[in-house]
Structure 1
Amino acid sequence: MILYIAEKPSMGAEIAKCLPGPIRRHDGYITTGAGVVTWGFGHILRQAEPGEYDAKYEKWRMEDLPIIPAAWKLLVADSCKKQFGVVRKLISEAAEIVHAGDPDREGQLLIDEVLEYVENDKPVRRILLNALDEQSIKKAIANLRDNEDFHNLKQSALARARADWLIGMNLSRAFTLAARRAGHRATLPVGRVKTPTLALVVRREREIEGFRTADYFTVKADFQHANGVFTAFWKPGEDQAGLDAEGRLADSSVAQALLEQLASAFETAQIVQCETAEKREAQRLPLSLSALQVLAGKKFGYDPQLVLDTAQKLYEKKLTTYPRSDCDYLPESQMADAAVILENLCGGKQAELAAWSGRADAGVRSRAWNDAKITAHHAIIPTVEKCKWESLSEAEQNIYFLIAQAYVAQFYPAHVYSQTRVGVRHAGESFTASGRIIREPGWKELYGTDGEEKKDEDDGVLPPMEKGDRVDFLKASAEKKSTRPPGRFTAATLLAAMKEIHRYVKNPELKKQLKEVSGIGTEATRATIIKELVQRGFLREEKKKKYLIPTEAAYLLIDALPEELTYPDSTAIWEAILHRMAAGHASLEEFLTQQAEFTAGICALATGLNIAPQGDHPCPQCGKGVLQPRTGSKGKFWGCSRYPACRAAYDDADGEPQKPKHTCPRCKAGALQLIMGKNGAFWGCTKYPACRATYNDKAGEPDMPARQGLGK
């Protein structure tokens, strides 16, 4: 018997439909004439919690950190126990197994870990399903691969999961305990990807809060050439007065003097540079999930999770390929489907797609068709299934439109234009102008100006001219402008920042290295991470555009953590290692050893961390913690949040701590308390032995001066 194990029931049902013979449905599996199909519900197995390694870890204590498992444990998730029993029984009965997890590292791991858990020794092959239409599934069934080919992909997923456990379980406890010592009641979750993502928003908000508007001037002049009038922009020289640190003209008096200088000059201006070059802009690549999420966020205002959920629905309706793809290239073999896909779009109900597809040329071969760029999956594209447009929701229509638009663009020629750059010299000053003439709109016919940022210098249409030509100065103007603060993140722009994390890396050498790495997080997890930061109260969405604003809890967390956790440098390095591991160029054991050492070092740092106290009753004994109500064997009392480092304790007086009436006059930090000694009662400092001040007791009050003995 051949057993197919799919990642989820919907995928299992589609595989079963494409196997020959009668189909019979059972509880947790489907039988066919060519084998049995079963499934998981995502991860059937989960990683053990610290308390499941040792009961002592159920209580959070700084002295127990770091927790580093000697042998990693997996447990069957409570919600999956019944289905796990079905899968385990079928594995024992199978002669051969086909791994049908999603074609990414997480999909690879969640079936592999089940096979290892049950100690499977049957041969395992791998099916890669990038689309769920019948043609694609049958083609994949006919091209099964040895599952061992994907061992390194599984190692990469295992490394990510265990590293996340080490960071999350240990550092969340360490910094939460540090915050609680200072009286904060918040739980501070620390994540390898989540924390630097949150830090991006916190830093951006502080940039905005600290931003000071600065005025500057843009000077431009109109010139008359024999072939027409054009506008050029003034460029300051190296020693120009009145410039700010960014090289902008900020002094209004200098701007006014410049205008007067230009207007009073008698000599004719001259063209000192005139260069025209033909340029070609290759077709925009098809879409990965991140590219789709960013594009849909800008065009429709959709948050990343909605885009992923919608793309998943289109995939399950067999209209588009696998949605959680980090690849924006296509396999060369897929070219065979191009004519059918374009014909379907041409006959569809969406007018723009139909018109574009009708003018597309299936013979055009863009840079997207590149087998060398393909891993387990390829860019998201339409399948050969015809789309029933009217049956889709508005969101499904919009997401399908973007996917199809990017696909059709591959069958249009490159965008060709002539770019002219002109340099003008007048009154000892330099001016530049540039313009372009569209020679062949090509694929941009589908996009127009979508996503293009206009620059003042590129807006003009230039008349024909040559170097050395004389031109007449007509007029000049200085437009006052103001600098603007950086924009707040939205879910879409934050996701784009996670994808292009090298832009936020501090180390310049590392910045170059990480341009080739696909950011932090994965295509499947980035949207979830942002959503969780909102749900857990670290970010809130404001206004119509849903700007992400950090909460007080976010500031507390980011300010408490060292830069190793809040900047993306370390996380991005880890992502690069995971990518190398997937390619077989890095070791799981070495990576986890590094993670364990890193975790231990950060836990040690958290042990000595001092966070600003929060609470109405600062501890009078240590001055670092706050008094909090507690219940002991003798009833309610108030104790220091830094216990056991500080053992200050005070009786409760109508819901308030009954603080000592007498501050120690010697150390000023402790308080005097009544002590029973061998010679009777006396008053001693609570900071003993650091402070050895002692005083006689006089009718229940400390008597001055200090008594002999310890007081000396």
Structure 2
Amino acid sequence: MRLFIAEKPSMGLEIAKCLPGPLKRKDGYIVTADGVVTWGFGHVLRQAEPGEYDARYEKWRPEDLPIIPETWKLLVSASCDKQFQTMKRLIEEANEIVHAGDPDREGQLLIDEVLDYVGNEKPVRRVLLQALDEKSIKKAVANLRDNRDFYNLKQSALARARADWLIGMNLSRAYTLAAQRAGHDMTLPVGRVKTPTLALVVRREREISSFQPVDYFTLKAEFQHENGLVTAYWKPREDQPGLDAEDRLTDPEVVRSLTEKLAGGPQPGVITACDTVDKKEPQRLPLSLSSLQVLAGKKYGYDPQTVLDTAQKLYEKKLTTYPRSDCDFLPESQHDDAAVILENLRECGRPDLAAWADKADRSIQSRAWNDKKITAHHAIIPTEVPCRVVALNEGEQNIYCLIAQAYVAQFYPVHRYQQTKVEISYAGEVFTAGGRIVTVMGWKEVYGGETDEKKEEDGDTLPPVKRDDPVEWLRTSAEKKSTRPPVRFTPTTLLAAMKEIHKYVKNPELKKQLKEVSGIGTEATRATIIKELIDRRFLQTEKKKQYLFPAEAAYLLIDALPDELTYPDCTALWEEVLHRMASGEEQLDAFLGQQVQFTTGLCSKAREIAVPLRGDHPCPQCGQGVLQQRRGRRGTFWGCSRYPDCQASYDDADGVPRRPEHPCPRCRQGDLRLRQGKNGPFWGCSRYPACRATYNDRQGQPVIPDGHLPQTGKTGPA
């Protein structure tokens, strides 16, 4: 029996429909003439919690950290136990198994871990399903690969999961305990990816809070050339007075002087430089999940999770390919599918899509078709299944059209233009102008001519000019401007920042190194991480524009943590190691050894950090904790938040701690109390027997010897 194991029921059903023979539906699986199809529900197995390794870890204690499993343990999720038993029985009955998890790192692991858990030794093949339409599934089933080819991908997923466990379980405990010692009643979740992501928002908010606007001026001059008007901007000399550190003109007196100088009478002006360069822009690549999320966020205001959910629905409707793709390229063999896809788009019911598809040239093969750039999956594109776009809901229409638009653009020519840069010398000053002339609109016709490049400063079209041409000065204008604070993140721009994390690193060497990696997080997890930070109320969302604001707990968490956790450097480099591991260039054990070392060092740091105190009653004994109201065997009392390191305790007096009138001078943690001994009243420490200090009584007051030295072991009246 051949057994297909899919990641989830919907995928299992689609595979079963494409296998020969009638379908016989059973409880948890489907029987066909070509084998049996079963499925999981995502991760059927979960990683054990610390308390499931050892019961003593159920209580959070700093002395137990770090917790490092000697042997990693997986447990069957309670909600999946019935389905797991079905999967296990079918695996035992099968003579060949087909791994049908999603074609990514996580999809590889969640089926492999079940096979490893049950001790499977039967041959396993791998099917890579890029789309769920019948043609794609049948083609994939006809081209099965040996699952051992994906061993390194599984190792990469295991490394990610175990590293996240080590950091999340240990450092969340370590820094939560540190915060609780300072009186904070909250859990501080630490994550390998979510912590530096949260830190981006916190730092951005602080930049905005501390921003001081700077006023500056721009000078613009208009010159008459025989072929038309040239608008140019003043370019300061290196030794120009009145500039700030950013070379902005900030001195109004210099502005006034320059304006008067330029208007001081007719002077000859000349074009001293005129460079025209033919340039071209290749077709914008098809969409990965991140690029789709960023594009949909900018155009429609959709948050990343909404985009992922919508793309998933289109995938399950067989209209688009696998959505959790981090790839922007397409297999060369799929270029032949364009005839069917473009024809479907001509008949889709959307005038814009139909018009773009009608003008597409199938003979064009853009840079997107590149087998060397393909790994387990490719860019998100429409499938060969006809789509009546107008029958979709608004969100699905918008996302489908973005995917289709990027695909159609591959069949338009390269965009070509001429870019001209001009320098004008007048009255001893230099002015610059720039312009571009489009010669071939190409693929930008699909995007209405929009461009990713920054607009030329003047934005005007230059008339035909050449070097040494004379020009006549007409007028000069000065415009006062102010620098603006950084813009707050939205979920969309935060996701883009996670993808392009190198932009937020100051070290130039590291910035260059990180530019080559894939950012922090993965296509499948970035939106989830942002959503989790919002759901747990570390980030708050301003409704209209979706700006993200850090909550008080976010500041506390980021301020408490060391730079190794809050800056993206380590996390981004780890992501690159995981990518290399998927190619067999890194080893699991070596990577986890580094993670253990990293975690151990940060657990030690957590014991030493000083978190700002929260509470109305700082502990007078240790000065590092706060007094908190508690219930004991004898009723309510107040104890230090740093217990057991500080064992200070005080009676309750109508909801506030009763401060001792006579602090014990020996231990400095207890207070002296009047007691009755064999020889009469005396004063003893409240911490007896831990502290045995005793003092004589004189008229209801303890007799403390000079120098505050205790009279140990001596009782009786003064």
User: TM-score, normalization: structure 1?
Assistant: 0.96
Does 2:652 match 1:657? no
Q: Deviations over 1:619-668 (max 9, x none)?
A: 1111111111112222221110000110001112222222213467999x
Summarize the alignment of residues 398-477 of structure 1 with structure 2, pairs less than 5 Å apart. 398-450=398-450, 452=452, 454-455=454-455, 457-477=457-477
- Structure 2, unaligned runs of 5 or more: 713-718
Aligned residue number for residue 120 of structure 1: 120
Aligned residue number for residue 674 of structure 1: 673
Q: Deviations over 1:385-407 (max 9, x none)?
A: 11122321110000001000000
Question: Matched residues in 2 for 1:556 and 1:687: separation?
Answer: 34
Aligned residue number for residue 581 of structure 2: 581
Q: Deviations over 1:484-506 (max 9, x none)?
A: 00000000000000000111124
For the 8 Å contact 1:672–1:683, the answer to whether it is kept is no
Aligned residue number for residue 64 of structure 2: 64
Aligned residue number for residue 154 of structure 2: 154
How has the CA–CA distance of structure 1 residues 420 and 662 changed in structure 2, closer, same or farther, with 3 Å as cutoff? same
Instruction: Give 1:612 shift.
Output: 1.3
Aligned residue number for residue 3 of structure 2: 3
For the 8 Å contact 1:179–1:611, the answer to whether it is kept is yes
Q: Deviations over 1:404-436 (max 9, x none)?
A: 000000000011111111011111111110101
Instruction: Give 1:267 shift.
Output: 2.6
For the 8 Å contact 2:126–2:145, the answer to whether it is kept is yes
For the 8 Å contact 2:232–2:458, the answer to whether it is kept is no
For the 8 Å contact 2:314–2:396, the answer to whether it is kept is yes
Aligned residue number for residue 367 of structure 2: 367
Instruction: Give 1:700 shift.
Output: 3.3
Aligned residue number for residue 276 of structure 2: 276
Question: Matched residues in 2 for 1:511 and 1:381: separation?
Answer: 32
Aligned residue number for residue 93 of structure 2: 93
Question: Matched residues in 2 for 1:539 and 1:708: separation?
Answer: 52
How has the CA–CA distance of structure 1 residues 78 and 460 changed in structure 2, closer, same or farther, with 3 Å as cutoff? same
How has the CA–CA distance of structure 1 residues 376 and 701 changed in structure 2, closer, same or farther, with 3 Å as cutoff? same
Amino acid paired to 2:161: A
Instruction: Give 1:457 shift.
Output: 2.1
For the 8 Å contact 1:436–1:458, the answer to whether it is kept is no
SS of structure 1 residue aligned to 2:435: strand
For the 8 Å contact 2:416–2:438, the answer to whether it is kept is yes
For the 8 Å contact 1:621–1:687, the answer to whether it is kept is no
Aligned residue number for residue 55 of structure 2: 55
Aligned residue number for residue 344 of structure 1: 344
Summarize the alignment of residues 630-641 of structure 1 with structure 2, pairs less than 5 Å apart. 630-641=630-641
Instruction: Give 1:34 shift.
Output: 0.5
Aligned residue number for residue 167 of structure 1: 167
Instruction: Give 1:702 shift.
Output: 3.4
Question: Matched residues in 2 for 1:53 and 1:680: separation?
Answer: 56
Aligned residue number for residue 209 of structure 2: 209
- Structure 1, unaligned runs of 5 or more: none
For the 8 Å contact 1:694–1:706, the answer to whether it is kept is no
How has the CA–CA distance of structure 1 residues 708 and 101 changed in structure 2, closer, same or farther, with 3 Å as cutoff? closer
Amino acid paired to 1:483: T
Q: Deviations over 1:521-577 (max 9, x none)?
A: 110000000000011110010140111100000000000000000000010111010
Aligned residue number for residue 715 of structure 2: none
Summarize the alignment of residues 120-199 of structure 1 with structure 2, pairs less than 5 Å apart. 120-199=120-199
Question: Matched residues in 2 for 1:105 and 1:708: separation?
Answer: 68
How has the CA–CA distance of structure 1 residues 309 and 688 changed in structure 2, closer, same or farther, with 3 Å as cutoff? same
Question: Matched residues in 2 for 1:466 and 1:708: separation?
Answer: 94
SS of structure 1 residue aligned to 2:457: helix
How has the CA–CA distance of structure 1 residues 6 and 508 changed in structure 2, closer, same or farther, with 3 Å as cutoff? same
Question: Matched residues in 1 for 2:707 and 2:42: separation?
Answer: 73
Aligned residue number for residue 592 of structure 2: 592
SS of structure 2 residue aligned to 1:271: strand
Aligned residue number for residue 716 of structure 2: none
For the 8 Å contact 1:620–1:671, the answer to whether it is kept is no
Question: Matched residues in 2 for 1:679 and 1:614: separation?
Answer: 46
Question: Matched residues in 1 for 2:415 and 2:564: separation?
Answer: 44
Instruction: Give 1:694 shift.
Output: 8.1
Instruction: Give 1:686 shift.
Output: 8.8
Amino acid paired to 2:30: I
SS of structure 1 residue aligned to 2:241: coil
How has the CA–CA distance of structure 1 residues 709 and 418 changed in structure 2, closer, same or farther, with 3 Å as cutoff? closer
Which is further off, 402-411 or 613-622? 613-622
Q: Deviations over 1:689-708 (max 9, x none)?
A: 9x999864334333466388
Instruction: Give 1:262 shift.
Output: 1.0
SS of structure 2 residue aligned to 1:169: helix
SS of structure 2 residue aligned to 1:457: coil
Does 2:264 match 1:264? yes
Aligned residue number for residue 387 of structure 1: 387
SS of structure 1 residue aligned to 2:595: helix
How has the CA–CA distance of structure 1 residues 234 and 581 changed in structure 2, closer, same or farther, with 3 Å as cutoff? same
Question: Matched residues in 1 for 2:681 and 2:262: separation?
Answer: 94
For the 8 Å contact 1:514–1:572, the answer to whether it is kept is yes
Instruction: Give 1:682 shift.
Output: 5.5
Aligned residue number for residue 548 of structure 2: 548
| C-alpha RMSD of the superposition | 2.2
Question: Matched residues in 2 for 1:661 and 1:426: separation?
Answer: 85
Aligned residue number for residue 494 of structure 1: 494
How has the CA–CA distance of structure 1 residues 477 and 620 changed in structure 2, closer, same or farther, with 3 Å as cutoff? same
Does 2:606 match 1:627? no
How has the CA–CA distance of structure 1 residues 215 and 456 changed in structure 2, closer, same or farther, with 3 Å as cutoff? farther
Instruction: Give 1:181 shift.
Output: 0.3
Question: Matched residues in 2 for 1:666 and 1:113: separation?
Answer: 60
Amino acid paired to 2:231: T
SS of structure 2 residue aligned to 1:264: coil
Aligned residue number for residue 248 of structure 1: 248
Does 2:536 match 1:532? no
For the 8 Å contact 1:20–1:33, the answer to whether it is kept is yes
For the 8 Å contact 2:20–2:33, the answer to whether it is kept is yes
Instruction: Give 1:244 shift.
Output: 1.2
Question: Matched residues in 2 for 1:699 and 1:84: separation?
Answer: 78
For the 8 Å contact 2:350–2:390, the answer to whether it is kept is no
Instruction: Give 1:212 shift.
Output: 0.6
Aligned residues: 711
% identity of equivalent residues: 70
Question: Matched residues in 1 for 2:527 and 2:708: separation?
Answer: 70
For the 8 Å contact 2:221–2:233, the answer to whether it is kept is yes
